[in-house]
Structure 1
Amino acid sequence: MSRHSSHSSRSAAPCITLYDLKSASPQPWAPNIWRIRFILNYKRLRYRTVWVEFPDVEATLRAIGAPASAARSDGRPIYTLPVVVDPTRNPKAPHILSNTNNIAEYLEAAYPARPVFPEGSRALQTLFVHYIQEVFVKPLLPIMVPLSHQSLPERSQSHFRGAPGYPASPHAHASFQMLPPGPQREQAWLAVKEQFDFLSVILDKNVGDGDGIVACGHEVSYADFALCSVLIWIQRMAAQDGWMRIREWNGGRWVRLWERCKAYMDEY
């Protein structure tokens, strides 16, 4: 569903607001934000999206009273997306949350129907998600960061480059240079495939007790959304060079996971 679609029924009453990254792409792609979008869709919660360019993130989040998501070594706060504002339970004092994992925990506690943390799975899912964001994605960064930077509006690109008038972002990757076609790019994709192969072996351990596709038995969960968010990132930023490769890996496992999560890919 397009992010430009009209949803009059969704605007009739207070609803959750998701702050997402504005880009030149017609569709959202940032994996950490997609994890929250998946949860909102899965739990069938009403929400709308506010799109923010990178140079405006800190000012926008300060203006709404959002907490910082982290701190620099000198103690100065760091403001990042996603942020969620939930006025539905108390319109006079809405809950305002930052940090993807904190938001996920809040949504699960505040809206327990259709849980994304099946009973007894929270610790292992947390470990799984930590692996996805700290280990699994690392080989992807030299490929995906330049592609993602290229998809940003020029003002956001300038912000990351530290052009005059736009101070350099503290989150800027060391290099936005695209990997050239040839051995260097193929070596990068080989390192990515090693992580996919490893994860495929792990998920195969569920065969028999589960369907071998999702992380927790037979039903999708937060762990699957974390992984599928990375697949969305690749599909939208590297459809030909990346997604066409990955859909063939491990016997088509990742396409099957995509299909399991597809029902929760709405973009409001």
Structure 2
Amino acid sequence: MGPEYMADKVGPVLDLSLKLPLTTDIESTLISIGAPPSSYRSDGRPVYTLPVIVDPTQNRATPTILSNPNNIAEYLEALYPARPVFPEGSRALQTLFVHYIQEVFAKPLLTIMVPLSHQHLPPRSQSHFSRPTGQSLPPGPERERAWALVKEQFDFLASVLDKNTGDGDGVCAMGHHVSYADFALCSVLIWIESMAAHDGWSRVREWNGGRWRRLRDRCKEFMDVF
């Protein structure tokens, strides 16, 4: 479990339900239905993760099967454009924003969140996602230094989003309306809230004048699975 794990999980918060027996492994099931890899490791090996959608509405004989949250979001946007999360002309900039969230903004969190996430896994999954060397949860003072680095990223992003205060309330990346970029950022907030409610979310939600709590609340109406 490491940076690739986080990158795979950042994406839209969608109401997706894959009803599989608890004894079924994700990778073998996705391969059996012909789902493409969601990403590739640095050595070229494929990675199979959820979410995945199987959509037979366009062609029942050969349904559309998609993995990777970004691909799924773009597909659903094209199919159901009534409530767009990619306003016209914003796709390239939002793609850049999501890349920043995955590759820069979230990186300082890994020191804290990867060990915590590993602790929350069931025993069988813990053995599958073996803890990398150096990925134990940092002790008190070291953990506080790690949170200080995390706050630097939140402070910088807050200063960028403040530029929207003349065209919105400075909470949403696109100004007035929730977009895919907000889902990417909110998925990080949900990760913190789920894995570190007391040590993490209790502090993050108050940073920058409560901005991140307000973003979490703005995205709540789109979250049916949390």
Could you tell me the TM-score, scaled by structure 1's length?
0.76
Q: 1:259 aligns to what?
A: 217
Q: 2:154 aligns to what?
A: 196
Deviation at 1:89, TM superposition (A): 2.7
Seq. identity, %: 67
2:132 counterpart of 1:178: no
* RMSD across aligned positions (CA): 2.4
CA deviation digits over 1:170-217, x for unaligned, max 9? xx6444411222x10000000000000000000000011222110002
Secondary structure at the counterpart of residue 168 of structure 2: coil
How has the CA–CA distance of structure 1 residues 54 and 239 changed in structure 2, closer, same or farther, with 3 Å as cutoff? farther
- Once residues 54 and 218 of structure 1 are traced to their aligned partners in structure 2, the CA distance between those partners, rounded to angstroms, is 44
Structure with the largest fraction of helix: 2
1:89-128 alignment runs, 5 A limit: 89-128=58-97
Q: 2:38 aligns to what?
A: 69
- Once residues 183 and 49 of structure 2 are traced to their aligned partners in structure 1, the CA distance between those partners, rounded to angstroms, is 20
How has the CA–CA distance of structure 1 residues 147 and 72 changed in structure 2, closer, same or farther, with 3 Å as cutoff? closer
2:198 counterpart of 1:240: yes
Residue 198 of structure 1 aligns with an amino acid whose one-letter code is F
- Once residues 151 and 214 of structure 1 are traced to their aligned partners in structure 2, the CA distance between those partners, rounded to angstroms, is 30
Residue 158 of structure 2 aligns with an amino acid whose one-letter code is S
Report if aligned partners of 1:31, 1:230 keep a CA contact under 8 Å in 2.
no
- Once residues 157 and 54 of structure 1 are traced to their aligned partners in structure 2, the CA distance between those partners, rounded to angstroms, is 15
2:123 counterpart of 1:154: yes
CA deviation digits over 1:116-173, x for unaligned, max 9? 1011111111111100011000000010001111111100101122xxxxxxxxxx64
- Once residues 89 and 160 of structure 1 are traced to their aligned partners in structure 2, the CA distance between those partners, rounded to angstroms, is 37
2:2 counterpart of 1:35: no
Q: 1:169 aligns to what?
A: none
Q: 2:171 aligns to what?
A: 213
Q: 1:223 aligns to what?
A: 181
1:40-55 alignment runs, 5 A limit: 40-41=14-15, 47-50=16-19
Secondary structure at the counterpart of residue 65 of structure 2: strand
How has the CA–CA distance of structure 1 residues 128 and 174 changed in structure 2, closer, same or farther, with 3 Å as cutoff? farther
Report if aligned partners of 1:31, 1:232 keep a CA contact under 8 Å in 2.
no
How has the CA–CA distance of structure 1 residues 97 and 208 changed in structure 2, closer, same or farther, with 3 Å as cutoff? same
Report if aligned partners of 1:108, 1:116 keep a CA contact under 8 Å in 2.
yes
Deviation at 1:50, TM superposition (A): 3.6
Report if aligned partners of 2:10, 2:69 keep a CA contact under 8 Å in 1.
no
- Once residues 61 and 190 of structure 2 are traced to their aligned partners in structure 1, the CA distance between those partners, rounded to angstroms, is 36
Report if aligned partners of 2:7, 2:102 keep a CA contact under 8 Å in 1.
no
Report if aligned partners of 2:8, 2:39 keep a CA contact under 8 Å in 1.
no
Structure 1's unaligned 5+ residue stretches are 1-29, 42-46, 162-171
Structure 2's unaligned 5+ residue stretches are 1-5
How has the CA–CA distance of structure 1 residues 186 and 52 changed in structure 2, closer, same or farther, with 3 Å as cutoff? farther
Q: 2:114 aligns to what?
A: 145
Could you tell me the TM-score, scaled by structure 2's length?
0.89
Deviation at 1:58, TM superposition (A): 1.9
